[in-house]
Amino acid sequence: MAEVIHMRIGELSEKSGRTERTLRFYEELGLLVPASRTKGGFRLYDSGALIRIHWISRLQELGFSLPDIKEFLTELQGTPDGPAMMGDLRSAYAVKLAATRATIGRLRALEAELAASIDYLDTCKSCAPSTHKTACRACREDDHAEMEVPAMVLAVQTSSSIG
């Protein structure tokens, strides 16, 4: 049996970068249970806790809410044999992989839109410096003339934005 080092919540907080409140909160939700407690009630964690916390963060980045993760764990604990559990895990990950790819796609589209808006706005520098804001709506400067106004720029030039 390997030597298992137990740490108290303060140390785990430092090592994991989470606040103590967060760690206790994870426990409330059933996501992170301390390996044991001292007789006085202090929580004692082993190094697996760090791995677990990392995992939780990953899933959060993937868009899982903490209740989602809890449900996830509960489900996995419900399956009786190993391969079945790994199968459940696999399918959950597969779903999230698809969602992640979709998100990446959306972000790439937004990236392109932002880049186009920036390109367009770059040409604004050549306007007369003190042109009033309302003028931008109908600006016909040479550089602009052929460019279509990006939607993300148009929206700002609309109605209530400009006095």
Partner DNA sequence: TATAACTCTCACGTTGACGTGAGGGTCAGA
Partner DNA sequence: TCTGACCCTCACGTCAACGTGAGAGTTATA
Residues that bind DNA (CB under 7 A): 8-11, 13, 19-22, 24-25, 38-43, 60, 65-67
| Residue 74: both structure tokens together | 């509960």
**Contact code string over 20-39 relative to its own copies, x by CB under 8 A:** ------------xx-x----
Rg (the chain; Cα; Å) = 26
Q: Which of residues 89-118 bind its own copies (CB under 8 A)?
A: 89-90, 93-94, 96-97, 100-101, 103-104, 106-108, 110-111, 113-115, 117-118
What's the rounded Cα separation, in Å, for the pair 139 and 131? 10
Q: Which does 78 bind (CB under 5 to 8 A by kind): DNA, its own copies, none?
A: none
Q: Which of 78, 66, 56, 76 minimizes the C-alpha distance to 29?
A: 66
Q: Which residue in 17, 40, 41, 83 binds its own copies (CB under 8 A)?
A: 83
Which residues have C-beta within 8 Å of that of residue 85, sequence separation ≥ 6?
76, 79
On whether the CB atoms of residues 158 and 133 are closer than 8 A, the answer is no
Nearer to DNA, 67 or 87 (CB): 67
Residue 153 near its own copies by CB under 8 A: yes
Q: Which does 101 bind (CB under 5 to 8 A by kind): its own copies, DNA, none?
A: its own copies
Looking at residue 67, its amino acid is P
| Alpha carbon distances (Å) from 158 to 57, 94, 138, 141 | 40, 43, 11, 19
Residue 3 near its own copies by CB under 8 A: no
Task: Compute the least distance from the CB of residue 62 to its own copies, in Å.
Answer: 6
Task: Compute the least distance from the CB of residue 92 to DNA, in Å.
Answer: 16
Nearer to its own copies, 5 or 154 (CB): 154
What's the rounded Cα separation, in Å, for the pair 40 and 30? 21
